[in-house]
Structure 1
């Protein structure tokens, strides 16, 4: 997978490219787990549609990385390594953290639930042995749809909402967040 420049490519991608990207991410995860022997956060963005490398994805990645780094720092957890990538199949980031995976997953679930953009973040946590922890292990229900109150997986499988509807909702969430951040910045200057 070729890494992209800092500018969004806005290229359309297909299922074959997404599957290849997932396989490559799994390989990178294995390398990191072997190299650091610690819990691993694997961060992606939940963006529907054929264009995964766009301006919104870059903004979401920047906000997500900042949110994760702030959370890890606030909790006083040591990060052994961190890296981020921007592919045509979407942005990604990894953190290797010297904390038990269950503790780390709990913190990442809280971040996904409490951050204004958290619903758009996909914060997977893997144990040092490579097993990924799920929300079910924490007695949490699956994620809900961005538009209605149905389970996200149900809406996704049935294609209940168009990509255009989902893109509009994502842009509303992102715009609201960025406006709030801008107002906070103006107030502190």
Structure 2
């Protein structure tokens, strides 16, 4: 059976995928900052494809999975904040509003290439300055698109979501389904 190679250093993607399969983590060397499209969904897919193809050359007999998650507010991409001030600004922008979390994915297995995107709508509650400052102090905003992590302390910021929770975390469940369809067996947990 082919090995599953995750083209990402994201601990969240690794955690989600390793719940279902035995995987090997091998981050790609793609410079994501150089890939920009007008449409955020196309940007996420294009970055995921670049990551997947980067590793497909190195591991041609295995199954490669790559993903990229983007947070958008009114069509504007909110990347990973560089510092606490930028994180604070993002959280204030998101306060009381609905934004979209887009994860583009690409799976390469032999001559099969599966690509797509999952979009989840996330509504933030009205955030007080005190709540924003508390969240900033957790340091959880680091290395997260939009400056928050729904799977941790950031859950308190969210009023509700429409769509796949795991997409907001970083890897939509549709990727797991596609791997099963490609013949990969779920790992035994007991």
TM-score of Structure 1 vs Structure 2, range by shorter chain: under 0.3
TM-score (norm 2): 0.27
> Counting strand residues as a fraction of each chain, which structure ranks higher?
2
> Counting helix residues as a fraction of each chain, which structure ranks higher?
1
TM-score (norm 1): 0.27
